[in-house]
Amino acid sequence: MLVLTLTHFSPQLHMRLAIGTREFCEENVVAVGGNGKVYKEVLHGVEVAVKRIPQERIEGMREFLAEVSILGRMKHRNLVGLRGWCKKERGNLILVYDFMNNGSLDKRIFECEERMMLTWEERLQVLKNVAAGVLYLHEGWEVKVLHRDIKANNVLLDKDMNARLGDFGLAHMHDHHGQVATTRVIGTVGYIAPEVIRTGKASIMSDVFGFGILVLEVICGRRPIEEHKPGLIEWLVSLMVQGQLHSAIDERLKAKGGYTIEEVERLLHSGCESVGGGNGLS
């Protein structure tokens, strides 16, 4: 196993990364985020994902510190593994992760050809994996961790299609009996719980809200907010009133089958309960 736990800049590591990614050239980019780009690299024969964050970006520095202080200390099969990091004075911040061969969940739900689309069984497994990862963050570690940005784009799929929750740049940790001391509204529009917008305070239930939205979009094949369409929750409520909730399943899955109406309705009810304050992780 490749282990690079470097809290200080290593010229040798940075040189290997630069050479492996051909000086961080565009053809090696596998993802682009608000604070930097992610490159595919091979170190010691192991495929890794390398995020390069310009140090001058204040938000980038916050993301780097959050990833190192939280994900750098946690190990779980349903969390993306952080293999190492380094910091170059007046240069770039580097984070090295396990490489996720099958990319992000949102691309396998919303932006792929039909042959690459996740089946019903694969979608169920993804939701189970993410639920296990979130439960570990909330209850399984020495302190409580709030992810604060659970969404399909932050769920990555490994070579065996196991889902792992990633992107801990907005995560916050505190002891199991303490309160989250923050008044900043952060997250992604469509996934932010109403109480966070009102008070600025995140909680376990705001993560549950994000997980609930994830359940709904994975089953429906529809983002929480789409142009020229009613919001996902509004649309589901109208179908529920009509007794047609099962018809919300992703249209592309209807031809493939593999599910029952009871399964669909149970999961959609669970997602709606999570969004409405239920405990959809149980």
H or E segment to which residue 173 belongs: strand 172-174
pLDDT of residue 62: 85
CA distances from 216 to 97, 195, 239 (A): 28, 20, 13
Whether 85 contacts 7, CB under 8 Å: yes
Burial group, residue 246, by CB count within 10 angstroms (0-12, 13-18, 19+)? middle
pLDDT of residue 165: 98
- Of 148, 152, 146, the C-alpha closest to 164 is 152
10-residue stretch averages of pLDDT, the chain, 282 residues long: 41 52 72 82 85 79 88 93 78 88 94 87 97 96 93 96 94 74 75 90 93 97 94 94 94 90 94 74 40
- Main-chain dihedrals φ then ψ at residue 138, nearest 5 degrees: -80, -35
Task: Choose, from 106, 149, 207, 250, the residue flagged as catalytic.
Answer: 149
On the question of a common fold for 4-98 and 105-275, the answer reads no
Whether 271 contacts 212, CB under 8 Å: yes
Q: Enumerate the domain spans of the chain.
A: 4-98, 105-275
Name the class of domain 4-98: alpha beta
pLDDT of residue 1: 35
pLDDT of residue 266: 95
- Main-chain dihedrals φ then ψ at residue 53, nearest 5 degrees: -115, 120
Buried b (16+ CB within 10 A) or exposed e, 16-45: bbbebbeebeeebeebeeebbbbbbbebee
User: Which amino acid, 67?
Assistant: E
pLDDT of residue 281: 42
Q: What is the CA radius of gyration of the chain?
A: 19
Burial group, residue 213, by CB count within 10 angstroms (0-12, 13-18, 19+)? buried
CATH 1.10.510.10, applies to 105-275: yes
Take residue 122 and report the two structure tokens written for it: 């694969």
Helices (H) and strands (E) in the chain, counts: 9, 10
175 is catalytic: no
